Structures are given as C-alpha cells and as structure tokens.
Amino acid sequence: MPAVPSILNADLHCHSIVSDGTLTPEDLAQRARANGVELWALTDHDEIGGQRRAAAAAKANGLRYLTGCEISVTFAGETVHIVGLGFDAEDPRMVQGLADTRDGRGPRAREMAEGLAKVGIHGAYEGALKFVGNPALISRTHFARFLVETGHCKDTPEVFRKYLTEGKPGYVPHRWANLKDAVSWITQGGGIAVIAHPGRYKFSATEEYALFSEFKAHGGRGVEVVTGSHTPAEYVEYADMAREFGLAASRGSDFHSPDESHCDLGALPYLPGDLTPVWELLADRIQ
Ligand code: AMP
Ligand code: MN
Ligand code: MN
Ligand code: MN
C-alpha cells in the first residue's frame, strides 16, 4: 500500500442498516465515492456484520478501506462510544465481546416500549422493529423513527429530547461494555481505539480527564477531532486534547441517513495539519 497523505478526505465514522443507519453498505460506499471520500470505514454500533460487504463495496468504488466499529461503553455512569479502526474482524475476542455487548438490547427495547406505553404510546416495540435492519441491533434510533412516523414528534432530535434521554418515559438505563475490554478487543486484533465525539458527553472536566487518561492507559491511541457531532469550537478544543494526551486524530461524519443527518459523508473540514492522523498509524491495515 502506498503511503497515505495526512491531508485526506477520510470518513471513518458512519452507520448502515446493519445498525441504526438507513442505507446499505453498498449505497454508503457509492455515496462516499460521489462525495469524494478517499479512505472509508463503516462503523456500525456494536456490530461488524457489515464489514465484508463494506470492504467489497469500497473496492468496487475505488475507495481505500479500514475495518470499523463503534462500541458502546459505560464509563463513570455514562455511555461513551469507542470507535475501533483497522482491527481484525475475525478475531474471536472481538466477535464475542460485541455479541455480549449487543445482548441486552432486546430486553432494553421491550422496557423502553413499556415506558412509552405508560404515557399512551402503544405498540412502540413492534413499531420500532419495522425500522430494524438487524434484529440483534435494535436501538433508540429505531424508536425515534417510529415516533416520527406516527406523528408524535416532528424529527428524531425532538424524540430524544422528549422521550429517549435520561428521565424521559422511554429511557432505560443500560450497562454496556467496560472501557478496558472494548479497547483490548480492538487493539488485540491490530487495530486502533479512538474516543468517539468527546464533545457530546456530559462530563465534568475532571471526569473527561479521567476518561482520556484511562483510555490511554488501556492502550487507546486516537480521538475524533473533526466529526459531524462537534461544533467548530470543539474541533479546536479536541485538537488541543489530542496534543495534550499525545493521541492521533480521527475524522468522520457519523452519517446515519440522508433524511436525518446534517453532515454528509466526506463533508467535513480537514484535520489540523500538525496532528497525526489515525491512518498514519494504520498504514499496514488499509485495504
Ligand atoms: P442506543 O445505542 O440504542 O442508545 O442509541 C444511540 C443512538 O441514538 C446514537 O448512535 C445516535 O444515532 C442516536 N442519538 C442519540 N442521541 C440523539 C439525539 N439527541 N438526536 C438524534 N439521535 C440521537
Ligand atoms: Mn447511531
Ligand atoms: Mn456515537
Ligand atoms: Mn456513530
């Protein structure tokens, strides 16, 4: 594989119907190419069932590809997302770890539906299932689509605000993977662990410092700096965190759907030139 430049239209975070996106891996690859993406990773939540299709579609579209996944982790009582890139998607520890992480989603979804029924929204479990592409991966996003379809809310952010976040009727607390395990599943298979969209977590400065320190101590090596989930001020803030903690930087739209996502595949500013891009550490993992 030839050396990969540091200024690159890389999109290393997005979702397909294998988790809570609405496009197939093939449609995403085509859209990525149309938008000028040069290096791509599909990062479905807690699931790598789309990796083969994504890698084949990347090849068919002339895109370079890294294996990807976004793992749900519980840290300091909050949900944190860890993106894995360039890992071995056949590694049994990764495969089993993700299966265990997905396991609680079914019962959680039924409890969410019970909570919604208490405020007069009936049939939410069955309704959400209609939007699910992968029965092992029912998520809050699928409930949100059902609540928009049935006219309870105008869009998915409104559903999250009114129904699906802490203290709201459809919210069910959940324990995901732990940070150390998630990082090790990724790194044992030759990949790099990346803190996803750190600007989205409701941590105090002390908790955030603890997240970055522990993540690094467990072998984590990257942080998303430029992501569809950050404001331009957060690009600057987390570029500084990358420098402070000696982490490589990643870039990804977090694209889910043409109808819902405000940031399209490949449509982000480049990473600041002085940061080490994660793909520089993954040159031998690029397909
Ligand atoms: P889950 O893994 O089931 O807890 O669902 C998390 C997913 O919900 C995230 O990956 C996002 O796709 C989506 N999500 C979370 N918060 C919001 C929000 N405020 N507005 C729209 N989508 C959201
Ligand atoms: Mn999602
Ligand atoms: Mn996320
Ligand atoms: Mn995501």
Q: Ligand 1: which atom is nearest the Cα of residue 138?
A: 3
**Ligand 1 pocket member 72 (CB < 6 A):** yes
Please, where are the H alpha helices in the chain? 25-34, 51-60, 92-103, 105-118, 124-129, 140-149, 156-159, 179-188, 205-217, 232-245
CA of 221 to the centre of ligand 2 (A): 22
Q: Which residue has the tokens 């479905």?
A: 44
pLDDT at residue number 110? 98
**SS3 call for 250:** strand
Nearest to 277 by CA among 247, 236, 254, 256: 247
Nearest CA to ligand 1 atom 4: 140
pLDDT string in tens for the chain (287-residue length): 446 677 899 999 999 999 999 999 999 999 999 999 999 999 999 999 999 999 999 999 999 999 999 999 999 999 999 999 999 999 999 999 999 999 999 999 999 999 999 999 999 999 999 999 999 999 999 999 999 999 999 999 999 999 999 999 999 999 999 999 999 999 999 999 999 999 999 999 999 999 999 999 999 999 999 999 999 999 999 999 999 999 999 999 999 999 999 999 999 999 999 999 999 999 999 99
The sign of the torsion formed by the CA atoms of 74, 52, 49, 64 equals positive
Report the phi/psi class of residue 76: left, alpha or beta, with left for phi > 0 and alpha for psi in -120 to 50.
Answer: left
Rounded Cα distance, 262 and 266, in Å: 12
List Cα–Cα distances, 252 to 5, 105, 226, 270, in angstroms: 17, 25, 7, 10
Nearest to 138 by CA among 107, 94, 174: 107
**Ligand 1 pocket member 145 (CB < 6 A):** no
Two tokens, residue 94:
């990764």
**Ligand 1 pocket member 197 (CB < 6 A):** no
Q: To test ligand 1's pocket by mutation, which of 72, 79, 82, 141 has the most ligand atoms within 8 angstroms of CB?
A: 141
pTM over 0.85: yes
Identify the structural domains of the chain with CATH numbers, from first to last: 10-101+176-285 (3.20.20.140), 105-164 (1.10.150.650)
Q: To test ligand 1's pocket by mutation, which of 20, 81, 102 has the most ligand atoms within 8 angstroms of CB?
A: 20
Nearest CA to ligand 1 atom 16: 160
List Cα–Cα distances, 197 to 148, 179, 190, in angstroms: 25, 15, 22
pLDDT at residue number 6? 74
CA of 139 to the centre of ligand 1 (A): 8
Nearest CA to ligand 1 atom 14: 141
CA of 45 to the centre of ligand 4 (A): 7
Q: Ligand 1: which atom is nearest the Cα of residue 81?
A: 10
**Ligand 1 pocket member 157 (CB < 6 A):** yes
pLDDT at residue number 7? 85
Q: Which residue has the tokens 């990347």?
A: 58
**Ligand 1 pocket member 156 (CB < 6 A):** yes
pLDDT at residue number 3? 60
CA of 82 to the centre of ligand 2 (A): 12
pLDDT at residue number 106? 97
